Each structure stands twice: as structure tokens, then as C-alpha cells.
């Protein structure tokens, strides 16, 4: 993109808009300061506050595209993400107006409708185009989208470890959403079910000595699963999703998400590993998830 015009300051902005003229009023009446979001409340009991900082288009090698939304929050310093398919799924906190920002500022942090394809030279024409794009979005379907709440797994996703099915689950979720043209993957930086990569790698060494994934965590004085879903819930709220079809084998995830009261899981879709060649380590991992962690997985012949 090559934007040459810096635009006017966006004045103070109040409520979330429903129409484009509301949107313009909204921009005029509400100021939000993203710097107010700092990790000042370390307790997991603290009220979760999040702010979407930026959104950017990611074209994929498969020919489709997604938008990546990056969030800041008040509980930790991690950059939690939402991978969003479909133009009608919008972040409330991103679309808010920030103090003293220009149209160019809004473009750079991704708070625009449609695609950035040409140089912005005429602010009025740009706003007219935005109005047309916004109208399309606000008349779009409100069907509950496919949603996956995915926890980071460097080993499974980046170095293709065969110890777990995390990489495959992420790829499959992206494939399903690309086909559906709509969906959200909330990508939480809760590596190793919340214990971090350092401790997870220690757990792998204990697993090579014969301990399973749960026992290895416990031997290292960690819970079997130390994850929380308050930030995921807040991100789904921010994306204005009240009903979702969740891709998961983990009933605890559904229970925890619904316990916040703002997001309703109307359907659970299983994530069955597609790789047809059974792998010894992966099958041992999946069997423990079913037997010890209550996961639902329909692979009776393999496990």
C-alpha cells in the first residue's frame, strides 16, 4: 500500500455503531486510549480487559486469505491473536476511535472496511467507499461461525513434532474455515497447556522415560492442564460472537468458555486427526487425552 494522504484528526467518539452514519458519529464522540491496557493485574481472577491493537490481511499459499488480529490484555504481556475468516466479523475495540488519530493512523492499524488497494488521495471518496463496504458487512449473515480456541504449540506447529496433534488441528481448522469462508481461530499463547516451552520440553524427557503427558506435568509440579479461557472469551466478545460452533474434542474447554456467560456453544465439532498412518507417540498421547483428560475422540481402532 502506498498512502500519500495523512487525513484529518479523528475527533472524540460513544457506543458501538450499527450504521455508517452511526459509525461516523461514533468516531466523533469516543476516545479510547490503547495505552490504558497494561498488564497491571497479574491475578487470573482479575477482570479481563483486552484491546485489539492491529489487524492485517494474510494471503495464504492455498489461495485464500485471513485477517490476523493482535490483542493486548491486562493479565499478561503476551500477544494473543485471532485468525479471522470473513469480512463480517469485526473487532469492537479495533473499530473504536483512538485519541487524536488520523485516517492514516486508522488505516495502518487495520481499522478500515474492505481492501486497501490504492493510494488514498481523496479523503471524501475514501469515506464514501468505506460506507459502501460497511453496508455490505452489516447486512451479512449472522450464522454462528466455526470457532477454534487453540493453544500455542511450538513443537507441533513449527517443528512438526509427531508427539501431539496440535499442528494438524491448527491446519485442519484453517482449512475448514477457508472452505466455509467464515470462522475464527483464537490463538492463545498458552504453550504446553500453560506451563511454557521450557517446562514442556522437560516433560518430554520424562515422557521418554515412560511417563504419560499428564504424569509428566504432575512430576514437574504443574497441573495436568493450567490453561484459562478468560482472554479467549473476551476476544470472542470483542468480535461480537455470542453463538459459536466450537471445533474441539475437549468438553472442559466448552464448559469453561460457557461459564463466562457471554458466549454460547451451539454445536461441538470434533477434530479427528487426518493422518492415516498411526504414529506410536501420537497415539499414546491421544489415548491419555481420552482416558485421563476426558477428551472425546472417535479413533477406537487406533487407541
Ligand X SMILES: Nc1nc2c(ncn2[C@@H]2O[C@H](COP(=O)(O)OP(=O)(O)OP(=O)(O)O)[C@@H](O)[C@H]2O)c(=O)[nH]1
Q: Name the residues annotated as catalytic.
A: 225, 227
CA dist., res. 69 & res. 110, Å (int): 9
Does 130 interact with ligand X (rule: CB under 6 A)?
no
Does 168 interact with ligand X (rule: CB under 6 A)?
no
Does 167 interact with ligand X (rule: CB under 6 A)?
no
Task: Give every CB contact of residue 25 below 8 A, 6+ residues apart in sequence.
Answer: 13, 14, 17
Does 253 interact with ligand X (rule: CB under 6 A)?
yes
* Angle formed at CA 184 by CA 65 and CA 93, multiple of 5 degrees: 100
Applying CB under 6 A, what is the total number of residues that bind ligand X? 22
- In the list 48, 66, 97, 166, the residue contacting ligand X (rule: CB under 6 A) is 166
User: Which residues in the 57-76 window bind ligand X by CB under 6 A?
Assistant: none
195 or 235, CB closer to ligand X? Answer: 195
| Torsion from C-alpha of 148, 150, 154, 160, nearest 10 degrees | -40
Task: Name the minimum Å distance from CB 190 to ligand X.
Answer: 6
Site string for ligand X, 176-215 (x = CB under 6 A): --------------xxxx-x----x--x---------x--
Measured in degrees and rounded to the nearest 5, phi and psi for residue 19 equal -130, 170
Site string for ligand X, 212-251 (x = CB under 6 A): -x---x------------------------------xxx-
What residues line the site for ligand X (CB under 6 A)? 151-153, 164, 166, 169, 190-193, 195, 200, 203, 213, 217, 248-250, 253, 271, 289, 295
Amino acid at each position: 500500500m502506498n498512502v500519500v494522504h495523512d487525513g484529518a484528526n479523528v475527533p472524540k467518539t460513544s457506543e458501538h455503531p450499527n450504521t455508517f452514519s452511526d459509525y461516523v458519529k461514533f468516531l466523533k464522540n469516543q476516545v479510547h486510549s490503547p495505552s490504558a491496557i497494561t498488564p497491571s493485574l497479574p491475578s487470573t481472577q482479575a477482570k479481563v480487559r483486552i484491546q485489539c491493537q492491529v489487524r492485517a490481511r494474510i494471503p495464504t499459499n492455498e489461495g485464500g486469505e485471513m485477517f490476523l488480529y493482535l490483542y493486548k490484555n491486562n493479565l499478561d504481556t503476551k500477544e494473543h491473536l485471532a485468525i479471522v475468516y470473513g469480512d463480517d466479523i469485526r473487532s469492537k475495540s479495533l473499530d473504536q476511535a483512538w485519541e487524536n488519530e488520523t485516517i492514516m493512523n486508522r488505516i495502518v492499524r487495520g481499522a478500515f472496511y474492505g481492501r486497501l488497494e490504492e493510494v488514498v488521495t481523496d479523503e471524501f471518496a475514501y469515506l464514501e467507499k468505506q460506507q459502501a463496504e460497511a453496508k455490505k458487512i452489516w447486512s451479512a449473515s449472522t450464522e454462528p461461525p466455526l470457532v477454534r480456541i487453540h493453544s500455542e504449540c511450538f513443537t507441533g506447529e513449527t517443528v512438526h513434532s509427531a508427539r501431539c496433534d496440535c499442528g494438524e488441528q491448527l491446519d485442519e481448522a484453517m482449512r475448514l474455515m477457508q472452505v466455509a469462508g467464515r470462522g475464527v481461530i483464537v490463538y492463545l499463547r498458552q504453550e504446553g497447556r500453560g506451563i511454557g516451552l521450557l517446562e514442556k520440553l522437560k516433560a518430554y524427557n520424562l515422557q521418554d522415560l515412560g511417563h504419560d503427558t499428564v504424569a509428566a506435568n504432575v512430576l514437574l509440579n504443574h497441573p495436568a492442564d493450567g490453561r484459562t479461557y478468560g482472554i479467549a472469551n473476551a476476544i470472542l466478545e470483542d468480535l461480537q460472537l455470542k453463538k459459536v460452533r466450537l471445533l474441539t474434542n475437549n468438553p472442559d474447554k466448552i464448559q469453561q468458555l460457557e461459564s463466562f456467560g457471554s458466549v454460547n456453544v451451539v454445536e461441538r465439532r470434533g477434530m479427528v486427526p487426518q493422518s492415516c498412518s498411526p504414529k506410536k507417540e501420537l497415539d499414546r498421547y491421544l489415548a491419555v487425552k481420552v482416558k485421563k483428560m476426558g477428551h472425546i475422540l472417535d479413533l477406537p481402532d487406533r487407541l
